[in-house]
Structures are given as C-alpha cells and as structure tokens.
Amino acid sequence: MECPNCKLNEDLEFTRKVVKAGILRGAQRYYCNHCKTHFSEKRKVKIENKNSHQITILDIAKHLGIAPSTVSKALNNKSDINFETKNLIVKLANDLNYKPNHFAKSLSRGNSNTIGVIIPNIERPFFAAVLAGIQSVASKAGYSVIICQSDETHQTEILNIQTLMASRVDGLLISHTKETSTFEHLKIHLNKGVPIVHFDRISNEINSSKITHQNKEGSFQLVEHLIENGCKRIAILAGPKELLISNDRLDGYLAALNKYGIPIDNNLIYNSNFQKDETTKVLDIWLSLENPPDAIFTVFYLNAIEMMVETKKRNIKIPEDIAYVGFGDDLIAELFEPSLTVFHLFPFKMGENAANVLIENIINNEHSKSKTLEITGKLIVRKSSLKS
C-alpha cells in the first residue's frame, strides 16, 4: 500500500508517518503526516465465486459494512444518499454481477407481471395456436406466462387454479374442461379481485370477460352449405351437454334445419365426449339406421376426420354417399383426402384478444368489468361436402 498523494510506500517511514483514522463506508481510513492528507484503503472484494449463488443486496451491504437500506437506495437511484457512496455501491454491484430479483420487487409492489393460462389439452393444434397468440401479446407487454393443462378433468382444473394463485399471477385466462359444470373454484378468486378472462369454452355463470367464436353462426353456415348441396338427412356429432359451446353449435344446426323446413330427427343427434372410440360407435349406429344420414356435421373437426377414415374403410364414398363438415380447422383437415370443409376459427387471433383484454383489466384494475368479444370465423369449402 502507498499514500496516493505523496507515494510514500509501506516501509518503516510509512509506518511512522501514516496512521489509521477510522472507517469510512466500510473501508479503512488513513492519515498521512508526511503530506497531511486522508486516504482510504482500496477494499479488495473477493468475487471469484460471484456465480456460485445469486448476489443479493445483503451481500453488497456486508462487503461495504453499510446498511442494506443504503444499498437499496443506491441501486434504486434514490436521491437521499451521498453521491460518492452511491457510486461505490453501484461499482461493487457491477463487479459482483448483481442482478435484481424482479420477482421479489414485483411482490413488494403487489404484482408479479405474470399471467396464468389453463387449457384442456395442449396437444390440440387449436390450443397451441391460442397459446402462441397469448404469448405474443404478453411478451410485448412485459408479462411472463405460466401454462397449465387440465387434461379435460374438472379436478385437475381446480388444482391448476390453486397452483397459479399460489404463484401470485396477476390474472387468469381459462378454457374449461369438458367435465366442468360447477364454477365455485373460479368464483372465489374473482370475488377476491383476480382478473379472469374466459376464451373458447366459457361460462355464463361467471361475470368475467369472454372471448368467443361464432358458434351458432358457424354451425348454421356449415349446415346451410350441406343443404344447398342437396343433403336432407344431416346428422350432428355434438360435444358434451355440459359445454356451452357444444350447445351453441347444436342450436346453429337446429336453426338451419328449421329455416329450410327439414324435420328434426333425434336419431341423428348425438352428444359425444370427443373420443375416437365413440365416433366409431356412433358412425355404426347411424349407418345401421333404416334411413342413414347423407351428411355428418361434427362440432370438433378431428371427429369428422376420424369418421371419414372409418367411412372409407366401409367402401362408402365421400361425399357422394355421405358428405362431411367440421367445426374448426387444422392442416390435417386440408391435407386429408378428400379435404374437409370447415368453419375456420382463427385461434391465434383469439389468443391475442384474450391476452389484450386480460392485461387491460390488470393495468386498469378492472377485475369486475366484463366484456364479450366474438372472433369472426370463415367457412372454407373443400371436397368433403361438394356432392355436385
């Protein structure tokens, strides 16, 4: 060590003329009798293990021998702290590769900048596209996304919500399972002020914002298209009765038949659980009727693909003998032979809208304010329904 002013180094003369003069901001203070000046010892901070653990404000405070509150003020650029002290703290923080704990800071502010998403089945291309839309909006707005899959079970949905609430998400996006018919597990959090937005599979029992499809209108267009192509015996494979979207799509089917004066045959209406084994069973039932259907509409497009596979195995021509249409779209619907006529839902757009509404509610603290947005779909006519 040497006096930075007169360069008196650490020998016998240094020992006689330089004396300790207390501690200043964690560093030893000295007084040089030779040049009559004070100086501080340059503190050597061991930082070789700086990556061994997350450096905290407490670590910086300990190194400098000052209060953690002083470090916090410096790192948060507060004005009520000495300029020299602030620079010393900031320099050491950089040397130690200090990274602020944004999660802890957000909790102190009462938010986490995180939103939760619950979907029934992440393997379905529809929900994957919705998630992409949500992520796109959330990232641009500075929010992280936690995704949970309910696996189409009500109990798992309840556990998902408990997990997300324990993670202190700022808001929740949810599409319900096919089993969910009671909603107390969601109402309790809405009543506590948690912003909640439904998408796709919604509930009218909850006063939340909702992003929906043209369920009735889309079904009406699909069935009307079949009628215009000469179909008279149109069967519908609906979804579970508990699902609101299933009932809405059934209503669209019935409305189209009523408009064109086609009698409603309950033998041609079946509520399913969307599973492949059930589609095969229902197809066999319909084909065994004395007057089988000449067209089949499924409210979940993949069920139509499954039925078409079974229909071709039975050497029944599509669409000449049986025409097919489905609600929703995917690349497989376009590539399958014959390609499937669908009502396209624009899931990415649904995800964008859902995230926008939720983040708006979070920012404006409007958890009790609800709105309903309907995503406009599009009828895409392909070979499976063109009897002519």
CA distance 352 to 375: 11
CA distance 68 to 107: 18
Q: Which of 3-17, 78-92, 108-122 has the lowest mean pLDDT?
A: 3-17
Q: Are 333 and 339 in contact (CB under 8 A)?
A: yes
Most confident range (mean pLDDT) of 266-280, 332-346, 358-372 is 332-346
CA distance 299 to 198: 20
Could you read off the pLDDT of 26-75 as tens digits, one per residue? 566 667 777 777 666 654 444 444 444 678 887 888 888 888 778 878 88
pLDDT surpassing 80 at residue 384: yes
Phi, psi at residue 342, to the nearest 5°?
A: -140, 170
- Segment 291-311 shows an average pLDDT of 97
Could you read off the pLDDT of 127-157 as tens digits, one per residue? 999 999 999 999 999 899 999 999 999 999 9
- How remote is the C-alpha of 147 from its chain's centroid? 5
Beta bridge partners of 23: 28
The number of beta carbons lying within 10 Å of the beta carbon of residue 252 is: 24
Q: Which of 80-89, 98-107, 377-386 has the lowest mean pLDDT?
A: 98-107
Task: State both tokens at 297.
Answer: 């509409």
CA distance 170 to 167: 9
| Predicted pLDDT of residue 25 | 53
Instruction: Work out the pLDDT band at 297, boundaries 50, 70, 90.
Output: very high
| Predicted pLDDT of residue 32 | 75
